Amino acid sequence: MSGTFVFYSWDVMEPISYCMMLGNFTVAMLFYASYKEEMQLITLRELMANKFARGLYKRKKFDIERVE
């Protein structure tokens, strides 16, 4: 709101807000196309935790395939 009423006019802020909305939509669609899940905070957290765990297992030479 301060960008619209204090620093810039609506003529400047409208294209900026449109580009931000388009970027969010594009990222969400790419995420859905890649993982076939909705883009939610819990999903992102699980994906990042699994990625971190796999990297840690690989660095420590832990065979997760054998355990599963």
Enter the pTM of the model: 0.54
Q: Is 56's pLDDT higher than 70?
A: yes
Q: Is 3's pLDDT higher than 90?
A: no
Q: Is 1's pLDDT higher than 70?
A: no
Q: Is 55's pLDDT higher than 90?
A: no
Q: Is 23's pLDDT higher than 80?
A: yes
Per-residue pLDDT tens over the stretch 34-46: 877 776 777 778 8
For the chain, what is the largest distance between any 2 Cα atoms, rounded to a whole number of angstroms? 61
